[in-house]
Structure 1
Amino acid sequence: MALLDPSFSDPLSLPDIGRKLLPHTPFEALATTRTVRRRLDPERPVDMESILRALGYAGQAPTGGASIRAHFVVVTDPGTRAELGEHYRRVWNARYGEFLEAARSEAARRGEKAPSDLESAAHLAANMGRMPVHVVACVDTAGRSMDGNQASLWGSVLPAAWSYMLAVRSLGLASAWTTVLLDAEQEVAELLELPESVRIGAVLPTAHPLGEGFRPARRDNWAAHIHDERW
């Protein structure tokens, strides 16, 4: 796999790295990067150089305590992706299956469609194992207590995962921030042979997008979530 090629030891030194970015402003990237579920293309292969470039930018994210504790496991093997998909579907159905069926029944009674966000989540659950690349964002907890304030610990991986999503967006790809598999973290850790001290922060399925472009998400009454001086 290209990620293991010694010539890729410094992703940001790859030639012409800037030329492969889409011509949009940072604000456009921020406003149009989000979890994509229905529009991830499971059929089109993703080249590993793009994934590597995105992970190179992820490595420039802020990190808690000036320590590099973030690790990313890139999964492309069809069998492993299928197993991750099975775990994802099982956990998702256990958590949301009854809720989905109730929502569909209620929507049908009203002559409406079930909420689109719920249907898109169900779509990803059904197709997770088909996505061409799974990027598993992890943090090494060695020497750190998991009690009390963990902000700096998780701050060592979550900003990097978000930077990865911004980078793949700028490279013409799409991704989804998912945490469903944390309900099967032990099974996933065994599958990926993670050390005991390593915890999963997010799983980021990545693919080419179906269709063209993305619009800003609807955020009703966002101003009510911004507080002046005090809550």
Structure 2
Amino acid sequence: MTPDELLTTIRSVRKRLDLTRPVPMELVRECLEIALQAPTGGNSQGWHWIVITDPDKRKAVGDYYGRATRAYLGSGSSAGDLFQDDPERAATQRRVSDSAAFLGEHMGDVPVLVIACIEAARLPEGNQAGLWGSLLPAAWSYMLAARARGLGTAWTSLHLVYESEIADLLGIPANVRQGVLMPTAYYTGETFRPARRQPLDEVLHVDSW
């Protein structure tokens, strides 16, 4: 697929993750090798990648994730609660919320869970863009590499409600912070296409707001 096809057809895969088909570690490593080519501030490369395949640990992470998801869905500010004054967009938001609920119930069943982390003894006060800007591009590169290899992923940070508990479970040091959880599995179907987005001219500002 061309770069444009890759970038416009990558979707958050939740309901269509194949929960029964194993994912070879070699394939995950290929995606992570590509992720390591992403930029970092000062070429610091302070990232770490936790790849979870052990069934018991996947279940434990999934249990925390499920609890966080249920709280999110009941918060009144979940995806499904947004844009209620726009019937067409509200329908899309309800589908997103429904798929989020599915993933919340099945996170522990996904064959591979990848948590992207970064060294940070403490979180910066104020603007944290410099810190997370040295991790999140690499996580996105991982997801793109996975898509190009027939794997589905989803970007989620709901697990961070239980960041310390998951750190204890996985032995993550205190000076390493988690940034994003990416469930990874083969996907079912081949109907990925560009999503409906706001028109560019509604969000574009040239030279001033």
C-alpha spacing 1:188/1:220, structure 2 compared with 1 (3 Å): same
Structure 2 equivalent of residue 88 of structure 1: 65
Q: Residue 225 of structure 1: which of 194, 203, 206 is its match?
A: 203
C-alpha spacing 1:170/1:79, structure 2 compared with 1 (3 Å): same
TM-score normalized with structure 1 length: 0.81
- Give the root-mean-square deviation of aligned CA atoms: 2.1
Give the gaps of 5 or more residues in structure 2: 85-90
Q: Is the 8 A contact 1:35 1:175 kept in 2?
A: yes
Alignment of 1:18-29 (within 5 A): 24-29=1-6
Task: Name the % identity.
Answer: 48
Give the gaps of 5 or more residues in structure 1: 1-23, 107-111
Q: Is the 8 A contact 2:17 2:110 kept in 1?
A: yes
Structure 1 equivalent of residue 170 of structure 2: 192
Deviating 4+ runs (over 4 angstroms)? none
Q: Is the 8 A contact 1:38 1:120 kept in 2?
A: yes
C-alpha spacing 1:212/1:229, structure 2 compared with 1 (3 Å): same
Q: Using the alignment, how far apart are the partners of 1:66 and 1:83 within structure 2?
A: 34
Q: Does 1:72 align with 2:72?
A: no
Which whole-Å deviations, capped at 9, do the CAs of 1:153-182 have from their partners, x for residues lacking one? 111110000000000001111100011001
Counterpart code for 2:125: D
Bigger shift: residues 180-189 or 32-41? 32-41
Q: Is the 8 A contact 1:65 1:152 kept in 2?
A: no
Larger Rg: 1
Q: Does 1:38 align with 2:15?
A: yes
TM-score normalized with structure 2 length: 0.89
SS of alignment partner, residue 82 of structure 1: helix
Alignment of 1:75-154 (within 5 A): 75-97=52-74, 99=76, 115-142=94-121, 146-154=124-132
SS of alignment partner, residue 74 of structure 2: helix
| Aligned length, in residue pairs | 199
Alignment of 1:40-59 (within 5 A): 40-59=17-36
